[in-house]
Amino acid sequence: MKNYMKPMVVANDELAEGVYLASGDCWTVSCRKDQNDAGGYCTFRIQCNHNTNQQHISKATTVTLVFDQPITGAEYEGFQVSVSGNVVTCYREQLGDSYLSGDNFNSLVKIWCDGFETVQCTNASIVCTKTVNVQGNGADGN
Of the candidates 62, 80, 65, the one whose C-alpha atom is nearest the C-alpha of residue 111 is: 65
The whole-model pTM stands at: 0.73
Mean pLDDT score, 40-49: 92
Average pLDDT, the chain: 77
Please list the residues that pair with 43 across neighbouring strands. Answer: 35, 110
SS (H, E, C) 64-112: EEEECCCCCEEEECCEEEEEECCEEEEEEEEEEEEECCCCEEEEEEEEE
Amino acid at 99: Y
Q: State the average pLDDT over residues 31-49.
A: 90
Top-confidence residue, 142 or 116: 116
- Band (pLDDT 50/70/90 cuts) for residue 130 is confident
